[in-house]
């Protein structure tokens, strides 16, 4: 085994993850840090220019408030999440997000404009962009703000380090380079965790040659949740996964089709199941008050789709791209311009995918699909953990002081905006729970909010906390153990001869170790079959969840035997360790909430209805004790800071 050099970095404020929230944090921290002589450093497992969920680009900015008010946005988010979100966090982002979008324009992001120079809206809150280079543009601004010397790329952060004199205060972080034999030890006064959501916890629909294709980026492996949970931070809504409806196999998004092109989706036999669900006596009336609002909440749109597919057997679900294009072409009053209009619509349809889900465009091309000639299948995908979209999982954080009511101030505010329950540990983007629908622009905004507060924290808490050197030494050994395990046992196989002859990767089966891929497959199978993945038609019960907890325990024991052939696999090992903790937290939260609040995301078959009285005004929260390996699960109140009457409109 190679010798690993230790690189020590001392800074004031460390940003962990340079995705959308991390880039926003760099832009804001850069500004305040210069004024207060605070050193800011950012670390990412990848290259900032194309890291995170926006690596491939996006075709829309999904949160822009325009002339609406933050309360309008809160109404929308609250009803989409079936009543549960943090009013203070959602409104805080909503009141600042316009500024972020205007900043983006200044960075050079091409936002679509109409003939009058106004932004082109996809829906009420969404703006169309030419966003293939969205991440590169935003990352460049972040890099300029804090300076190239303060950017550390291709270093995977494994764990946070606590103050040796105060276990409720963060003091450092440890990770390793994914390119060179180097361990990184960071020491700081404050840090911001914005390492994205979690993908490949549940079994993906893509297998075999499609393996690795997912909607959300496979390199977001639950690190945000792992880092904050292991540090002892209170976590929230870990049961609220997101199941996106997507074009089949390529995972192309549906938003532009539903909102911009106003396309209809139907069951295989042609029924408009959403209109039927909304109509008098339709399924949505079984989910009051949320089934009657507009837009139909995301989970309920899935729910209607799942009834067609699984209960009626009237799948697959079809998106009628052809009819939408024909209708929009017909709407062109000048018949001479219709041909041009058709060409424009066709290219917009392709660009929607080419800007953010290139694989869907490739799949359409390879299957000879012409969106103007026929419909395409859409499907509910595997569940993802993503606090920034239509899910809600993440850390329980302090909100802004000025948005609190007398009642909420005691529950939702403890000094620094977006600080977790651990001193000096901040979170943003997918890492924060209960402030859903922030998307790319809102995540960047939340990064800005958190970074400003974190710089303030550094100024007001100038003493550098101390890390425990003995703990660091132990962790170094633990981090590199998979390389050692492989070296010790790789020759032990009865299949060596086969390997020689066929060059098969026989090390994958070895009684002494488990490869990261195998560990992930095992996790995926457990979650899919017992915790309401697509393979179990999104259904679970106390019985299946308890089976999952037993199996996860066995998997956790085997994680000590993970083996890595090289640095790349070492990364894969630790990604799976991160995934397993969020899997367990999720399972425990799901078990705790005895109702079905988000049908279409998951069903508790033993509690198949929504239970407003018992669960309508509480969040499920948890704290993990890493020393004892124990979760404590409990509730926190949903406090309505703003009374919302009625909400309509897309």
* Alpha helical stretches, state H, 163-317: 223-230, 255, 273-278, 298-306
Asked if 389 is part of the footprint of ligand SFD (rule: CB under 6 A), the reply reads yes
What is the Cα–Cα distance from 363 to 365, expressed in whole angstroms?
5
Q: Where are the beta strands (DSSP E) in 290-374?
A: 317-319
Q: Which is nearer to ligand AMP, 181 or 316 (CB)?
A: 316
Q: Which is nearer to ligand AMP, 296 or 425 (CB)?
A: 296
Asked if 576 is part of the footprint of ligand SFD (rule: CB under 6 A), the reply reads no
Length, in residues, of the chain: 650
Minimal CB distance to ligand SFD: which residue? 19
Count the alpha carbons within 13 Å of 297 in the hemisphere toward its beta carbon.
30
Binding ligand SFD by CB under 6 A: which of 40, 45, 425, 569?
45
At 200 the three-state DSSP class reads coil
295 contact, one of ligand SFD, ligand AMP, none, CB 5-8 Å limit per kind: ligand AMP
137 contact, one of ligand AMP, ligand SFD, none, CB 5-8 Å limit per kind: none
Could you tell me the smallest distance in angstroms from the CB atom of residue 256 to ligand AMP?
A: 7
Q: Which is nearer to ligand AMP, 268 or 650 (CB)?
A: 650
What is the Cα–Cα distance from 379 to 416, expressed in whole angstroms?
41
246 included as an active-site residue: yes
Could you tell me the smallest distance in angstroms from the CB atom of residue 165 to ligand AMP?
A: 45
Tell which positions 164-203 bind ligand SFD, by CB under 6 A: 194-196
Could you tell me the smallest distance in angstroms from the CB atom of residue 650 to ligand AMP?
A: 5
Closest listed residue to residue 15, CA positions, set 505, 448, 599, 488: 448
Q: Which of 224, 267, 440, 622 is catalytic?
A: 440
What is the Cα–Cα distance from 228 to 243, expressed in whole angstroms?
23
Asked if 28 is part of the footprint of ligand SFD (rule: CB under 6 A), the reply reads no
Cβ(569)–Cβ(513) under 8 Å? no
Q: Which is nearer to ligand SFD, 53 or 549 (CB)?
A: 53
Could you tell me the smallest distance in angstroms from the CB atom of residue 192 to ligand SFD?
A: 10
Binding ligand SFD by CB under 6 A: which of 15, 60, 378, 395?
60
CA distance readout (Å), 16 to 141, 163, 193: 17, 18, 5
Binding mask 139-168 for ligand SFD (x = CB under 6 A): -----------------xx-----------
Cβ(215)–Cβ(40) under 8 Å? no
At 244 the three-state DSSP class reads coil
Asked if 18 is part of the footprint of ligand SFD (rule: CB under 6 A), the reply reads yes
What is the Cα–Cα distance from 599 to 602, expressed in whole angstroms?
5
Binding ligand SFD by CB under 6 A: which of 220, 266, 421, 541?
220
β-pair type (166-177, 182-187): antiparallel
Binding mask 226-245 for ligand SFD (x = CB under 6 A): --------------------
Tell which positions 349-388 bind ligand SFD, by CB under 6 A: 356-357, 388
Binding ligand SFD by CB under 6 A: which of 53, 109, 453, 531?
53
Closest listed residue to residue 420, CA positions, set 586, 132, 247, 227: 227
User: 470: how many CB neighbours lie within 10 A of its CB?
Assistant: 9
Question: Which letter does DSSP use for residue 63 in this model?
Answer: -
Angle between helices 20-36 and 439-460 (to 10 degrees): 30
81 contact, one of ligand AMP, ligand SFD, none, CB 5-8 Å limit per kind: none
Could you tell me the smallest distance in angstroms from the CB atom of residue 108 to ligand AMP?
A: 23
The CA-CA-CA angle for residues 196, 188, 166, to 5°, reads 100
Cβ(376)–Cβ(248) under 8 Å? yes
What is the Cα–Cα distance from 585 to 113, expressed in whole angstroms?
44
Q: What is the CA radius of gyration of the chain?
A: 24
Q: Which is nearer to ligand SFD, 54 or 480 (CB)?
A: 54
Asked if 255 is part of the footprint of ligand SFD (rule: CB under 6 A), the reply reads yes
User: 446: how many CB neighbours lie within 10 A of its CB?
Assistant: 36
Q: Which is nearer to ligand AMP, 459 or 650 (CB)?
A: 650
Write phi, then psi, for 615 (nearest 5 degrees): -120, 0
Q: Which is nearer to ligand SFD, 43 or 551 (CB)?
A: 43
At 441 the three-state DSSP class reads helix
Minimal CB distance to ligand AMP: which residue? 255
Q: Which is nearer to ligand AMP, 304 or 422 (CB)?
A: 304
Q: Which of 301, 389, 579, 588 is catalytic?
A: 389
Q: Which of 215, 287, 574, 598 is catalytic?
A: 215
Q: Which is nearer to ligand AMP, 216 or 615 (CB)?
A: 216
Could you tell me the smallest distance in angstroms from the CB atom of residue 608 to ligand SFD?
A: 28
Asked if 253 is part of the footprint of ligand SFD (rule: CB under 6 A), the reply reads yes
Task: Give residues in contact with ligand AMP (CB under 6 A).
Answer: 62, 123, 126, 244, 253-255, 258-259, 295, 298, 301, 390, 650
441 included as an active-site residue: no
541 included as an active-site residue: no
Q: Which is nearer to ligand SFD, 360 or 541 (CB)?
A: 360
257 included as an active-site residue: no
Q: Residue 309 corresponds to which tokens in the numbers above?
A: 């597919």
Q: Which of 122, 132, 234, 308 is catalytic?
A: 122
What is the Cα–Cα distance from 54 to 619, expressed in whole angstroms?
29
* Alpha helical stretches, state H, 219-337: 223-230, 255, 273-278, 298-306, 321-330
Q: Which of 86, 121, 200, 246 is catalytic?
A: 246
What is the Cα–Cα distance from 472 to 464, expressed in whole angstroms?
17
Count the alpha carbons within 13 Å of 588 in the hemisphere toward its beta carbon.
22
Closest listed residue to residue 175, CA positions, set 62, 372, 8: 8
36 included as an active-site residue: no
443 contact, one of ligand AMP, ligand SFD, none, CB 5-8 Å limit per kind: ligand SFD
Partners of 176 in the β-ladder: 156, 183
Active site residues: 62, 122, 215, 246, 352, 389, 440
Binding site for ligand SFD (CB under 6 A): 16-22, 43-46, 51-54, 58-62, 156-157, 194-196, 215-217, 219-220, 223, 253, 255, 356-357, 388-389, 429-430, 439-441, 443
């Amino acid at each position: 085994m190679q010798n690993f050099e230790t690189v020590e970095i001392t800074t004031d404020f460390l940003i962990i993850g340079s995705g959308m929230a991390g880039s926003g944090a760099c832009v804001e921290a850069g500004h305040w840090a210069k004024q207060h002589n605070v050193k800011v450093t950012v670390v990412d497992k990848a290259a900032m220019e194309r890291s995170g969920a926006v690596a491939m680009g996006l075709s829309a900015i999904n949160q822009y408030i325009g002339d609406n008010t933050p309360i309008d946005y809160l109404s929308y988010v609250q009803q989409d999440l079936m009543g549960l979100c943090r009013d203070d966090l959602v409104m805080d982002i909503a009141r600042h997000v316009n500024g972020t979008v205007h900043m983006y324009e200044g960075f050079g992001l091409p936002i679509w404009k109409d003939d009058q120079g106004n932004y082109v809206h996809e829906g009420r809150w969404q703006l169309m962009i030419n966003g293939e280079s969205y991440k590169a543009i935003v990352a460049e601004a972040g890099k300029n703000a804090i300076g190239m010397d303060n950017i550390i790329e291709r270093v995977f952060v494994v764990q946070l380090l606590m103050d040796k004199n105060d276990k409720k205060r963060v003091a450092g972080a440890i990770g390793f380079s994914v390119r060179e034999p180097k361990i990184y030890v960071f020491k700081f006064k404050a840090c911001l965790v914005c390492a994205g959501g979690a993908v490949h916890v549940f079994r993906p629909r893509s297998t075999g040659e499609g393996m690795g294709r997912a909607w959300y980026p496979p390199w977001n492996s639950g690190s945000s949740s792992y880092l904050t949970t292991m540090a002892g931070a209170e976590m929230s809504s870990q049961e609220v996964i997101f199941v996106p409806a997507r074009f089949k196999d390529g995972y192309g998004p549906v938003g532009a089709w539903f909102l911009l092109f106003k396309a209809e989706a139907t069951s295989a036999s042609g029924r408009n199941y959403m209109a039927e669900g909304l109509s008098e006596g339709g399924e949505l009336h079984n989910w009051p008050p949320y089934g009657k609002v507009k837009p139909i909440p995301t989970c309920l749109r899935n729910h209607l789709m799942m009834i067609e597919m699984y209960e009626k057997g009237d799948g697959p679900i079809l998106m009628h791209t052809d009819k939408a294009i024909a209708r929009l072409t017909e709407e062109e009053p000048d018949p001479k311009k219709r041909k041009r209009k058709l060409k424009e619509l066709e290219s917009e349809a392709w660009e929607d995918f080419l800007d953010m889900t290139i694989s869907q465009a490739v799949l359409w091309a390879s299957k000879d699909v012409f969106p103007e000639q026929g419909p395409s299948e859409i499907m509910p995908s595997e569940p993802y953990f993503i606090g920034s979209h239509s899910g809600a999982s993440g850390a329980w954080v302090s909100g802004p002081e000025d948005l609190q009511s007398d009642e909420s101030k005691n529950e939702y505010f403890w000094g620094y905006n977006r600080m977790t329950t651990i001193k000096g540990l901040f979170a943003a983007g997918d890492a924060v729970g209960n402030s859903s629908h922030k998307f790319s622009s809102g995540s960047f905004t939340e990064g800005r909010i958190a970074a400003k507060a974190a710089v303030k924290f550094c100024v007001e808490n100038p003493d550098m906390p101390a890390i425990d050197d003995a703990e660091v030494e132990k962790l170094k050994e633990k981090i590199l153990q998979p390389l050692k395990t492989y070296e010790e046992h790789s020759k032990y196989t009865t299949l060596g001869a086969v390997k020689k002859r066929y060059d098969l990767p026989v090390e994958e089966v070895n009684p002494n170790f488990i490869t990261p891929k195998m560990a992930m497959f095992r996790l995926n199978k457990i979650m899919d079959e017992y915790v309401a993945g697509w393979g179990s038609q999104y259904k679970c019960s106390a019985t299946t969840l308890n089976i999952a907890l037993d199996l996860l325990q066995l998997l956790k024991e085997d994680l000590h035997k993970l083996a890595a052939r090289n640095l790349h696999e070492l990364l894969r090992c630790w990604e799976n360790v991160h995934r397993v903790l969020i899997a367990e937290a999720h399972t425990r939260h799901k078990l705790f909430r005895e109702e079905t609040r988000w049908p279409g995301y998951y069903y508790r078959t033993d509690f198949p209805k929504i239970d407003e009285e018992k669960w309508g005004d509480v969040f499920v929260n948890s704290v993990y004790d890493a020393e004892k390996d124990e979760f404590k699960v409990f509730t926190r109140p949903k406090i309505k800071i703003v009374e919302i009457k009625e909400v309509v409109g897309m």
